[in-house]
Chain A
Amino acid sequence: MQSGEIIRAEFESGESIEFVFDANAPRGGMKHTFFTPDKKYAVQFFNNPNDAANPLIQDRIRTITGIYNPTVSEENGGAAGNTEKTAAYFRQRFCWPVGILKYPVFGIVCPTYPKNFFFGADASAVLNLKGKDKKSNWFTGKNRKYLAPAERGDFRTMLGAAISLCRSIRRLHVAGLAHSDLSCNNVLIDPKTGSAVVIDIDSLVVPNKYAPEVVGTRGYIAPEVLSTIMLDFRDPKRKLPCVQTDLHALPVLIYEYLFCRHPLIGPKIYSSANAEEDDFLCLGPRATFIEDPKDTSNRPPDLKFTINSLSDGLERLFLKAFSDGLHEPSERPTAMEWERELLKAWDKLVCCDNPACEKKWFILRDKNRPVCPFCGKRKTKEIVLLELKSEMYGRKGVYRDKNEIAVFDRMPVYDWHIFSNVRNDEKADTQMRAYIALHNGMWLLVNSGAEGMLSPSGRLVPKGSAFELKDGDFFRISAKENGLLCKVTVCNKS
């Protein structure tokens, strides 16, 4: 076969698809990839013909493509409980196999990633990256400096990418699936828009199905998996990738997005014998979190921005994941906990007053003396906080905190800011209902489409109207059922 030759492949369903043969097709550890002439789909085959012919592997992949598929609605043969809305949401966040080939050999067809996960022509002034996929280590390590500033995003968009990733992993885990090889290669991020897409879905660990023989990628493999890697695959003492090992890789990725460094690779020298031995101990049996408060042996001397600069909740989760849970898998926080704390942190983002600050945003921690942990600039502008409270079920007049939001000019307001029974997740309506505007020194809440919005005086606010948010206001934000109670606090007043 010649490169460029068009080959017709056939699905198990009998339909066919064409792909372009390439003698130098990109090869991963397990598979090699060709593309359809329109580049809309990737056509993948196993490197090892024994894998392709293995009925257990085929069976697992059929299950992944069918009843476990969150990118197809239940009525179209996808996962149970999946609506077209949630399916459409996850189609943007997973590159999930859409079909299985039987000819010329067993293979998989996946959609190619959404366009924004490929670099454009102006991504870098010094490297030719046009058309290359946005693996996350372009943005989180030494390579970051080669990218155009517009590509790098800021702290807010990196936090957004982390939330997007957590949601996808939570969706896998609630279905009992484990990704098994989460890494900078298998999660692409777009810091411009703050989004993430999970790829290489075919090595998922599926309940009661033959487990994929993957180990993972260096830097993301859970310490217990690495520590037992020399044992036979079938040895009961050998630890294999599972949901708990994903829960090690997930915070490694989140930590990299937020801090642009690896949580376990620090100055500590574990062995002077050779690099391989040192690395094995560093990421395996003796792994130490660079910010571990109980063991500072791996702490870089020049650490500035630390987990202490994030929200209390995120600091607690990182300590659980990398201090308590590093060698104790059952202690690791779940993807749902990560998603919840990241969303809370998202609500507490404030803009850095320094126009030259590269990270632009930081998480508000000290309300009385807010300082940007990245550039060290003390925030001097006032900060308006909205505490949202929900009425406890069956106990009229008793409220509990839902969340706290630091507002900013032109902040959109959604249903989850208005109603106690709506959560910011894949099911929520993403129609903007209102927005915050800073106008002539006044903070306004502008109703652009919410029914039954109420002002602090209890009057109905029609669409197109606005009211001022003043320090100390405490009011019900919507006359409709499940409307939240809102308390306004202005802090850091000049």
Chain B
Amino acid sequence: MSDYLRRLPVYLLLDCSGSMTGEPIEAVKQGLKTLLSELKSDPQALETAYLSIITFDSTARQICPLTELFSFKEPQISAGGATALGGALKVLAECIKNEVRLSTNEQKGDWKPLVFIMTDGAPTDDIDEGINALKQVSAGNIIACAAGANANTEPLKKITNNVLMMNNLTTGDMAQFFAWVSSSVKLSSKSVEAKPGEAVVLPPPPQGFVIVP
């Protein structure tokens, strides 16, 4: 029998600018690996979550299209260049438009996407254009994480009300961030609470992370 499962699209927007070189980018790679293995061992996440990765340095690109977890291949990423966060938002809007299924009279649509943005600096391009592009699509729930002392939370607050601050860029902090992303995806894929129009409930952020008011 065909299954009538709905997909939960998850987009990760990862900063790969020059300042991420060294330990930070290695921590991101390690974090992604753990995230994948964690989600693949959660039955509800494995059934419903679909993952895509968009990276940004001097430009932005989707390096992994929206793929079911089981077939997801770990991407090659490296650091270098500027911080084209605005460009990343435009790519995100484009991807959501092309990849996320809408509800119609003929098809069951996907859940609202869950978007995680991680950046360690300040955008070097214009983000307003990206924000406008996002407004044209139903972007769902966006959580932005400002990582390390040099991250600027102001532009992030223009994108979403959910902004977290991670104090350090250490491997340990990055691991906690990805563990939290993983619990958020797990929680969303099971509770996708059928309260129309309601934002998803995410688990409390890890220790040492501050919610930016």
Contact = CB atoms under 8 A, between A and B. Distances in A.
A235 B106 CA distance: 37
A-B complex: 5 closest residue pairs judged by Cβ atoms: A24-B179, A280-B194, A137-B43, A277-B196, A275-B109
B192 interface: yes
A169 to B, nearest CB: 21
A443 interface: no
A128 B41 contact: yes
B204 A132 contact: no
Interface string A193-227: 00000000000000000000001011001000010
Contact of A276 (B37, B112, B203): B112
B44 interface: yes
A143 B46 contact: yes
Interface string B143-175: 000000000000000000000000000001001
11 contacts: A132-B41, A137-B44, A137-B47, A143-B46, A146-B70, A218-B191, A273-B103, A274-B109, A276-B192, A278-B108, A280-B195
B98 interface: no
Interface string B45-70: 01100000000000000000000001
A128 B47 CA distance: 16
A404 interface: no
A141 B107 CA distance: 20
A202 B110 CA distance: 33
A280 B195 CA distance: 6
Given A47-B204, A269-B107, 9 more contacts: A127-B40, A137-B44, A141-B43, A218-B191, A221-B194, A269-B104, A274-B109, A280-B196, A304-B1
Interface stretch (A260-268, A339-347, A408-416): A260-268
Contact of B192 (A26, A279, A303): A279
B187 A141 contact: no
Nearest to B191: A218
Contacts of B106: 269
In terms of DSSP, what is the predominant structure of the interface of chain B?
loop
Given A185-B190, A265-B4, A280-B195, A272 B203 contact: no
A184 interface: yes
Contacts of A27: 183, 187, 203-204
Nearest to B175: A24
Contacts of A284: 194
Given A143-B47, A218-B193, A278 B109 contact: yes
B4 A276 contact: no
Interface residues of A, number: 48
A346 B204 CA distance: 45
Contacts of A125: none
Contacts of B201: 29
A226 B194 contact: yes
B104 A272 contact: yes
Contacts of B81: none
Contacts, number: 122
B196 A29 contact: no
A261 B4 CA distance: 10
Interface in B94-130: 103-112
B80 interface: no
A304 B179 CA distance: 41
B2 A300 contact: yes
A274 B6 CA distance: 12
Contact of B43 (A143, A267, A275): A143
Given A127-B40, A141-B47, A275-B103, A266 B4 contact: yes
A217 B103 contact: no
Interface of A: 23-24, 26-27, 29, 47, 126-129, 132, 135, 137-138, 141-143, 146, 184-185, 215, 217-218, 221, 226, 229-230, 261, 265-267, 269, 271-280, 283-284, 300, 302-304
Given A24-B176, A275-B103, A184 B108 contact: no
A275 B6 contact: yes
Nearest to A304: B1
Contacts of B3: 141-142, 261
Interface string B1-26: 11111100000000000000000000
Interface residues of B, number: 45
B197 interface: yes
Interface of B: 1-6, 37, 40-41, 43-44, 46-47, 70, 103-112, 138, 172, 175-176, 179, 183, 187, 190-198, 201, 203-204, 206-207
B103 A274 contact: yes
A191 to B, nearest CB: 14
Contacts of B203: 27, 47
A277 B46 CA distance: 23
Contacts of B107: 269
Given A24-B175, A279-B194, A280-B196, A142 B5 contact: yes
A276 B194 contact: yes
B103 A23 contact: no
Given A23-B176, A47-B203, A143-B43, A218 B190 contact: yes
Contact of A217 (B37, B179, B191): B191
B204 A24 contact: no
B47 A142 contact: yes
A147 to B, nearest CB: 10
Nearest to B40: A127
Contacts of B40: 127-128
Nearest to A127: B40
B37 A23 contact: no
Nearest to B44: A137
A218 B48 CA distance: 13
A135 B189 CA distance: 14
B168 to A, nearest CB: 14
Contacts of A275: 6, 103, 108-112
A278 B102 CA distance: 12
B48 to A, nearest CB: 9
Contacts of A300: 1-2, 4
